[in-house]
Amino acid sequence: MKIVIIGAGEVGYHIAKALYQTNDVVVVDQNEEACARVDELDVHVIHGNGANVSILHEVLENAGLLVAVTGSDEVNIVACMASKLTVHDKMKLKTVARVSNPDYIDKPVAKRPMIGIDLMICPELSLASEVAEILAIPSAIDAELFAEGKVEMMEFVVPNDHKIVGKQMQDLHLANCCIVSALFRDSEVIIPHGEDVIEKNDHIVVIGKPAAMKEVRDLFGEKVGKRSKILIIGGGIVGFYLAKMVTNNEFDLKIIESNKERSLAIAEELPDALVLNGDGTDINLLKEESISEMDVVISVTNSDEKNLLCSLLAKQLGVKKVIARADRSDYVPLFEMVGVDSAVSPRQATVREVLKLTFGQGIESITTIEGEKAEIVEYTTSRKSKIVGKPLKNVKFPAGAIISMVVHKGNTVVPRGEYVIQEGDRVVVFSLQSANAEVEKLFK
């Protein structure tokens, strides 16, 4: 596919990096440094305004996808609208616009075909939704739903003194509708077998039927009925979206925002939250607000460096779980390496949605975990899928992947060797990046 990317910033660069090896990629940006960075990839780079109709007319010939991800909502929207007007076959060209202004979008992903935008993505709202899902499960550091809520993924960290340290996987005795899909140990990714031994600080990824996951939560010490104390540092777009999502009876919420006017506006909008005008790196303020009693601290300012500092201070002062926003993708593993429990990036939602469009029919959702070490992909099988109609034990499945769950006619099952996948099944696959291409071939 020929893909045109408007904007060579952090998001545009990583979309190009993910797609250039198997697609014809053109990147347009006005910033010379950004153009020079993306030019290191094997892509066609054009220095110019991505909303310029003459440039669009030049680059859109035979294009199947235009992705507008500049730092300006208006430029992104205009680029998509102008693209649809420029091409003859409007159905052939798909357009994606990244937007942040809540005046334009009120959910993470929306469709606006009437104005020429097939997909509108709000990374900040996607990030807030991701963090809200993690907060809903206090003992988890990551959580995702698949197959319209019929399959749930949770990631946990094994504490040093936990009773499962030193046990083999087969000794966990999880419910039949749950499976451990992966262990992350330092830089190593393990697709576990029954004899594998669990070690302290392992990250365990469990996938299962939501009703059966309560047992897993209990295993990692979740306390039922306890009101969680949450502190959000940063009242910008992400912090405000997140606060609105979690302002309910389940949480005692505090927000620290450095801008006085912004603090007053948030306090007026969210009367149930305690809003403090101050600096999240002020140790005295953190101590005065009894940060050591917080269950979770989330730092989501617009500065990666400040988010890291706030998170490390919170850890030093006794907070059990800290979550930090990291706009730069290369910071995500670094944050987690130095003690942040979960580093989340707003760009990942945009990259995932674009990848789904390039894969075509069959892929319902994609989630990257542990930075970008692995993916969990949900496929819907078709009559042509090579995996359909034969027992799984007879399918040549790549070594770096595992089918975790199958939803067949609304029923969720953990498939064994004799299981036969049928047309229309929703299949959730855990896969290392090295195995992605081989897995895709089985479902096309």
What are the residue ranges of CATH 3.30.70.1450 in the chain?
Answer: 128-219, 351-443
* pTM of the complete model: 0.75
Whole-number pLDDT of residue 325: 93
For the domain with range 2-121, which CATH number is right: 3.40.50.150, 3.40.190.10, 3.40.50.720, 3.40.50.300? 3.40.50.720
Calpha distance 155→150 (Å, rounded): 17
Of 159, 166, 130, 167, the residue nearest 145 (C-alpha): 130
* Average pLDDT of the residues in 57-67: 89
To the nearest whole percent, how much of the chain has pLDDT over 90? 32
Of 177, 171, 182, 173, the residue nearest 212 (C-alpha): 177
Tell me the HSE value of 60 on the side-chain side, using a 13 A CA sphere: 29
Whole-number pLDDT of residue 245: 86
For the domain with range 128-219, which CATH number is right: 3.30.2130.10, 3.30.70.1450, 3.40.1390.20, 1.10.510.10? 3.30.70.1450
Q: Is the pLDDT of residue 77 over 60?
A: yes
User: Class for domain 228-345, per CATH?
Assistant: alpha beta
What are the residue ranges of CATH 3.40.50.720 in the chain?
Answer: 2-121, 228-345
Of 269, 222, 278, 230, the residue nearest 251 (C-alpha): 230
Query: What φ, ψ does residue 321 adopt, rounded to 5°?
Result: -130, 125
Which secondary-structure segment (H or E) carries 374?
strand 374-380
Whole-number pLDDT of residue 345: 84
CATH 3.30.70.1450 correct for 351-443: yes
Q: Is the pLDDT of residue 322 over 90?
A: yes
Token duo for residue 139: 């003992």
For residue range 133-188, list pLDDT tens digits in order.
Answer: 778 776 788 888 888 788 888 888 888 888 888 988 888 888 778 888 888 888 78
Whole-number pLDDT of residue 352: 74
